[in-house]
Structure 1
């Protein structure tokens, strides 16, 4: 929200509350961790059991829809790499990491950390370290500013 820098921490706080509330509803109402990779796998029928298929579809569809609604109502600038190949390779690497780590940042970082899961603490530390290293390397290479 350009022109309103004081509103950004509040927006982040409200967004964090919404994510936590959604994760709590999922855990208490369905007994499942609200991990995006698990939900997406259910939509693609790569995973058995858990949330019903329609619930997983709505959860997964709500992610880009929520981002689109926010972008339409808040003056934000988003930049993405122009190379479709780079996006495809990045997505493949994220998918492999999600499988190797038995979950994604939402499952480990939001739900696992709140439960003090040792596996999630290690996984989230790994996500953060590789993310920081990737951005640093891309900035040094001049790929992003």
Structure 2
């Protein structure tokens, strides 16, 4: 990342207590802020599988799970830990159609991560 890009205010530290997530918009980007044991991480809020809102998912330690198709990501690195899947009735219906084959080929992409700085009680992230 370039050191010339400024940090932008994202939220107050009190808005993201340890073990929690918060959705914010910064410079037109949807960002997920996550507090893991007092350290703040920032990733894209949209799932790298089918664009689900990760802020509506679940967090366990450093892993966020998408509420739509259960893709899992490490919030400290943005890396995909588990590919998304349709499952259940939706998968049964889709697998009998041509679009089911297409859905099976949808790759889950890693999340973009952002550099985070905390200045007093303000969480700042660098958008490049």
Task: Give the TM interval when normalised to the shorter protein.
Answer: under 0.3
Task: Compute the TM-score of the two structures, normalised by the length of structure 2.
Answer: 0.24
**Larger helix percent:** 1
Task: Compute the TM-score of the two structures, normalised by the length of structure 1.
Answer: 0.23
Using CA pairs below 8 Å that are at least 6 residues apart, which structure has the higher relative contact order? 2
**Larger strand percent:** 2
